């Protein structure tokens, strides 16, 4: 009788221990789920593409495959550039295809005219930096030596005229220069906006 009692007592103690351990495991599991460390896997239904087939191998998840294909297709291509020296200035073409990097006679003429007009209408004491021609924008800058400042012209996202200098004296000569700089920007913008539109139209026609 004593042996039976001892065995029943041991079984009860073991049962309590297992129940306590299961309870602790449930608490740990719930904590991990709340912290997004553990994710419960729902039971797959007959129409679930993520379920396994009758042979036990996973079925293809079509939605995931499509997303992966879209990601691959929309990954930006590597940007390339090609520089051209034109009458002492440098024109840099930017793009992702060979066609983007090619330059036309009209574009060469426009760049030459831009440098000549700036010298005639703004300042003849200037060091021009490269003009950067992108598929949807144009950026050009340089340093005006007698004013000891840099100018920056942009067409596109950063559209406008910018200057950069240190402790520039604001006098009549400076104000006159700024007026000329802003006035010529209008001509610059008109000219290169047409070049951008012409190139875009040409590329669209080639793709049709």
Q: For 114-127, what is each residue's pLDDT tens digit?
A: 999 999 999 999 99
Shared domain for 86 and 1, answered yes or no, is no
Residues 91 and 148 in one domain: yes
Distance, CA of 123 to chain centre: 36
Does residue 45 sit within a domain? Answer: no
Are residues 19 and 98 both part of a single domain? no
Is position 65 within any domain?
A: no
Let me know if 26 is exposed, middle or buried by CB neighbors in 10 A (0-12, 13-18, 19+): exposed
Q: Are residues 33 and 130 in the same domain?
A: no
Which residue(s) pair with 51 in the sheet?
none
- Say if residue 142 is in the same domain as residue 85: yes
The pLDDT score that the predictor gives to residue 55 is 47
Please check whether residue 57 lies inside any domain of the structure: no
pLDDT band of residue 54 (cuts 50, 70, 90) is very low
Asked whether the predicted pLDDT for residue 60 surpasses 60, the reply is: no
Specify whether 167 is located in the same domain as 91. Answer: yes
pLDDT at residue 46 is higher than 80: no
**Distance of alpha carbon 74 from alpha carbon 79, whole angstroms:** 14
183 & 102 share domain? yes
Distance of alpha carbon 153 from alpha carbon 139, whole angstroms: 6
Q: Are residues 17 and 91 in the same domain?
A: no
Which two three-digit tokens encode residue 116?
């000549």
Q: 78: left (phi > 0), else alpha (psi -120 to 50), else beta?
A: beta
Other beta carbons less than 10 A from residue 93's beta carbon: 21
- Residue 125 placed within a domain: yes
**In degrees, to the nearest 5, what angle opens at C-alpha 108 toward C-alphas 107 and 110?**
60
Averaged pLDDT for residues 51-56: 48
Q: Determine the angle formed by the axes of helices 105-121 and 172-207, rounding to 10 degrees.
A: 170
- 62 found inside a domain: no
Question: Would you give the DSSP letter of residue 122?
Answer: T
End-to-end CA distance of the chain: 97
Name which residue leads in pLDDT, 9 or 120: 120
Query: What pLDDT does residue 205 have?
Result: 55
Kindly state whether residue 111 falls inside one of the protein's structural domains: yes
Residue 186's domain spans which residues?
A: 80-207
Strand 131-133 to 89-95 pairing: parallel
70 found inside a domain: no
| In a domain? residue 73 | no
More confident residue, 41 or 103: 103
Whether residue 202 sits in one domain with residue 102: yes
Dist. CA 96–CA 136, nearest whole Å: 13
Say whether both 96 and 184 belong to one domain: yes
pTM for this model (two decimals)? 0.62
Among 36-40, 93-97, 146-150, 196-200, which stretch is predicted with the lowest mean pLDDT? 36-40
Residue 171 shares a structural domain with residue 93 = yes
Contacts for 122 with CB less than 8 Å, ≥ 6 apart? 144, 177, 180, 181, 184
Core vs surface per residue 95-118: b (16+ CB within 10 A) or e:
beeeebbebeeebeebbeebbeeb
| Residue linked to tokens 């029943």 | 8
Both 181 and 87 in a single domain? yes
Number of domains in the chain: 2
């Amino acid at each position: 009788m004593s042996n039976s009692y001892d065995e029943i007592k041991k079984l009860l103690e073991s049962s309590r221990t297992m129940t306590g351990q299961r309870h602790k495991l449930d608490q740990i599991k719930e904590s991990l789920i709340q912290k997004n460390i553990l994710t419960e896997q729902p039971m797959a239904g007959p129409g679930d593409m993520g379920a396994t087939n009758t042979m036990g191998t996973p079925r293809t998840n079509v939605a995931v495959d499509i997303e992966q294909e879209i990601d691959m297709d929309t990954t930006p291509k590597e940007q390339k550039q090609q520089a051209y020296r034109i009458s002492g200035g440098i024109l840099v073409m930017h793009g992702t295809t060979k066609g983007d990097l090619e330059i036309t006679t009209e574009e060469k003429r426009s760049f030459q005219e831009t440098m000549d007009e700036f010298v005639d209408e703004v300042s003849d004491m200037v060091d021009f930096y490269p003009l950067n021609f992108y598929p949807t924008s144009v950026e050009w800058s340089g340093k005006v030596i007698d004013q000891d400042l840099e100018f920056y012209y942009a067409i596109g996202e950063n559209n406008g005229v910018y200057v950069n200098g240190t402790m520039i004296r604001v006098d009549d000569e400076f104000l006159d220069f700024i007026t000329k700089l802003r006035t010529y920007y209008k001509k610059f913008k008109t000219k290169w906006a047409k070049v951008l539109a012409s190139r875009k139209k040409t590329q669209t026609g080639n793709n049709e």
